[in-house]
Amino acid sequence: MHILLTGAAGFIGSHVAERLLARGDQVLGLDSLNDYYDPALKRARLQRLQGQPGFRFVQCDLADRAGMADVFAGPRFDRVIHLAAQAGVRYSITHPHAYLDANLTGFGHILEGCRTQQVDHLVYASSSSVYGGNTKMPFAETDAVDHPVSLYAASKKANELMAHAYSHLYRFPTTGLRFFTVYGPWGRPDMAYHLFTRAILAGEPIAVFNHGDMQRDFTYIDDITEGVLRVLDKPAPLSSAGAAPYRVFNIGNSEPVQLLDFIACIERALGKTAIKQLLPMQAGDVPATYASTQALQDWVGFVPSTPLAQGIARFVHWYCGYYGV
């Protein structure tokens, strides 16, 4: 297939691109290569893709209306995987316009492009953050998600609403994936496990929020990538009854881990003990995430299979090699 993949130089996007190319798809990778975190890491991911048969790259900002129109003015894409976004809960508190531009205006440009090209299927990144302060566990797609606790979460919920409107009006399938704390090699350096590893190796204290009383549904990158591809290959059917060809799924490990246990796993992989600085909860954060993944399992048979210890060991091996420590 001919696929547009946004966020191709990102953590999840670069792994998805590798899998698409390995199975023979033609991929146009799009990324702005912005400086939210070190662009050198983004370029290093991209370098692994460039030169592979079937891959082309274009640098473009999602909020650039004319630039995005040019992307969709070329040959028709069979399907679009939209993973580019302004990420990060805490950053959204201090840099709200980055989220308005990328996650709202930018997503609108993606939807318009898919409409004009009559794309067969749009798969896009949502987030577990949409569940906000929900206390019922595990989080299920049928739960109300009307009380976000960060602008980032609100922007992702808005994406789901926008996608539904386009699926309803223009009859093209859209599928949103609510990612739950993705980790692994080539991961984002602003993520906790990346920050923990750097600090532990340097002998510096790590910030442990809510005094460690937190749980996360950590999901290894290879499992996430497998889920994305399975969903890509199974769009919602067009219904003669008029229902929108629209789906939203949780994609997580469905096994939440205590933050202190997660840190202990990193300590074992590094062979070093962390200096823990216990701090209060940060604004916009939530104490726990826990995915019900039954709907995704029923739809595409997706079940994560990577144990946490194995995934962390792979990340640490990559980290030490990439950073030369």
61 in Cβ contact with 67 (< 8 Å): yes
CA–CA separation, 16 vs 8, rounded Å? 8
Strands 215-216 and 257-258: antiparallel
DSSP 105: I
By the 10 Å C-beta count (0-12 exposed, 13-18 middle, 19+ buried), 260 is classed as: middle
By the 10 Å C-beta count (0-12 exposed, 13-18 middle, 19+ buried), 127 is classed as: buried
Query: Among 91, 131, 152, 193, which one carries the catalytic annotation?
Result: 152
CA–CA separation, 116 vs 87, rounded Å? 27
Beta bridge partners of 257: 216
The answer to whether 152 is a known catalytic residue is yes
Task: Please identify every residue annotated as catalytic.
Answer: 152
